[in-house]
Structure 1
Amino acid sequence: MAVAVNTGISSKDRGAIVAGLNKVLADAYAVYLKTHGYHWNVRGPNFQSLHVLLEGQYTEQWAALDTIAERIRALGELAPQGYGAFGNLSSIKDGDPEQDSDGMLTDLLKDNETLIATLRAAFPATEAGGDEATADLLTQRLQAHEKHAWMLRATLGVK
């Protein structure tokens, strides 16, 4: 039995909101995967502190993925899944484990900034649809990735 979603957001607005969330989820998943991979492969004299820094970031990111996907489901759509679907939606490229630690951190900084732009780009649809719940989720993720970017920038010794 099909029951229409009736949460006060039109079908058209929900579609636009979900399109933005799908891209957010794909970029967030790609940043999570790269952060976790660099956690495994980082090397050098600052190994321990970088290993711990990246573990804190990927752990926080992992928990958020479920929240984003569940918001998509609450809006009545299926969340994308699988590497192919995420690859088609994401603008984040795979990491290179051969890089030195500064290269890895610079790569993650750039990717967090890309994800920040993706998050910002999703706001207009939430505003147009009057979707305060999704706007709140985007705000929380924006704060988290701005903090991740700041910590990476500070670790690299740049302003």
Structure 2
Amino acid sequence: MTIATAAAPASPSDLDERAAMTVADALKIILADSYAVYLKTKNFHWHVSGPYFRDYHLLLDEQAAEILAVTDAIAERARKTGNTTIRSIGDVARHQTIKDNDADFVKPQDMLAELRADNLSMVESLRRAKDIADAAKDNGTSGLIDTWTDEAERRAWFLYEVGRTD
């Protein structure tokens, strides 16, 4: 007697393969940008100075931890759809749209403004990715993107409020 064995599924997901790949491509950009903003936030955390040092230092550390915490969920979502994700620092550099800041000195107010702009850029990327996920009928990714968008908007709001001079 021969026992029939089922072939392994081509993907762990029931999403259309092309649509899932498009979602994964959008997630690669979000993941790369998350790492870029994370490193910039840590850079500014390490190098902030001035009369509000403690407040800015703590805020930037808190925001960096929040950004880093979401990276695993982004990568795992791509894997759940049967795709691959970022593999190295070089891969991050190839996919990121957020510009690095390697300046020797950045004024604290400029740090806050730049990070606010970067977080708002992340919001734009997340909204584009949500449209892609919705078109693919990828409810799981779409729902996660809502949370990630809210978190990026919150970071931008905090950076706006602490950076106000009026």
TM-score, scaled to structure 1? 0.94
When structure 1 is superposed on structure 2, of 94-103 and 110-119 the one drifting more is 94-103
Deviation at 1:157, TM superposition (A): 1.0
Aligned residue for 1:116?
123
Residue 22 in structure 1 maps to residue 32 in structure 2: no
* Count of equivalent residues: 159
**Residues 50 and 28 of structure 1, relative CA distance in 2, 3 Å threshold:** same
Conserved in 2, the CA contact under 8 Å of 1:115 and 1:145?
yes
Deviation at 1:27, TM superposition (A): 0.7
- Cα distance in 2 for residues equivalent to 1:114 and 1:40: 23
- Cα distance in 2 for residues equivalent to 1:104 and 1:81: 28
Aligned residue for 2:57?
51
Q: 5+ unaligned residues in a row in structure 1: which ranges?
A: none
Match of 2:142 among 122, 135, 146: 135
Alignment of 1:24-103 (within 5 A): 24-95=30-101, 96-103=103-110
Aligned-residue identity in percent: 33
Residue 146 in structure 1 maps to residue 150 in structure 2: no
Aligned residue for 2:163?
156
Aligned-residue CA RMSD (Å)? 1.6
SS at match of 2:127: helix
Conserved in 1, the CA contact under 8 Å of 2:40 and 2:100?
yes
Instruction: State which structure, 1 or 2, has the greater radius of gyration over its C-alpha atoms.
Output: 2
SS at match of 1:9: coil
Deviation at 1:8, TM superposition (A): 2.4
**Residues 158 and 14 of structure 1, relative CA distance in 2, 3 Å threshold:** farther
Deviation at 1:49, TM superposition (A): 0.3
TM-score, scaled to structure 2? 0.90
- Cα distance in 1 for residues equivalent to 2:162 and 2:152: 15
When structure 1 is superposed on structure 2, of 103-112 and 79-88 the one drifting more is 79-88
- Cα distance in 2 for residues equivalent to 1:63 and 1:115: 15
Conserved in 1, the CA contact under 8 Å of 2:13 and 2:82?
no
Q: Which runs of 4+ in 1 moved over 4 A?
A: none
